Amino acid sequence: MPTTVAAFYTSDMPDAIIETTLDICNSIGFETENVAERQSEVDGVQFHNINVPFNGWDLNLKFNLNNDRDPAEPPLSIGLGKRIDPSYVSEDATYQRRMDVIFELVCRVASALNADYAPVFITPGVSVRPETAQVTDSVEDVPYIGVYTKAILDDLGVVDGLGTPSPWYTAELDDGRIVVIPSAEPWTEGGWEPPITADFLASAEFNRDS
């Protein structure tokens, strides 16, 4: 499986986005005291990169803080590498712990940054990435994990409109955002299931037939 990314699309650049994201990482258990920071440039666009470690592995936080940022570009994307692929980890228990951390991080960051849409996808992920500031204009498919505002989900035709009438897992976050995981694969291949109860969830349910 190629590398995967979590992206956080928002219509309004959050204040103190780096500090807010690192606070969430810290609350989950990432080691944020001595993080590695660097600047990078892609196609003339400057990015601020921060690697945050967690128990022997780390994730790359990539911030686009430019004042002239294209509205279709996320202010934050998180490089997940191949960690959502169960074959990448030798033990199921390790995979399950890592997926618990990644899932909580995606949900909490989506809420904290007031994200309209936060997909987890395999790069380049053209079918799940918006091409304009209007998220619903070009999103054609359901990502591996997606966090949506209710308004965005309604505009997309709810889940039915994206060809997934019975997603494997749906949840509502405390702030009303909706989490959709369309399929049990690849998650159950490594024995992972997202939580039914957690302090950041208002409700959650599985459709075991999907």
Mean pLDDT for the stretch of residues 8-37: 91
Lowest mean pLDDT among 40-49, 54-63, 152-161: 152-161
In sign, the C-alpha dihedral spanning 138, 142, 148, 150 is positive
Q: What is the pLDDT of residues 89-137, one digit of tens each?
A: 889 999 999 999 999 999 999 999 999 999 999 988 788 888 877 887 7
Lowest mean pLDDT among 81-85, 124-128, 151-155, 196-200: 124-128
Residue type present at position 42: V
d(CA 108, CA 24): 7
Q: What is the CA radius of gyration of the chain?
A: 16
Is-contact 173 111, C-beta < 8 A? yes
Q: Nearest 5 degrees, angle CA 101-CA 107-CA 113?
A: 125
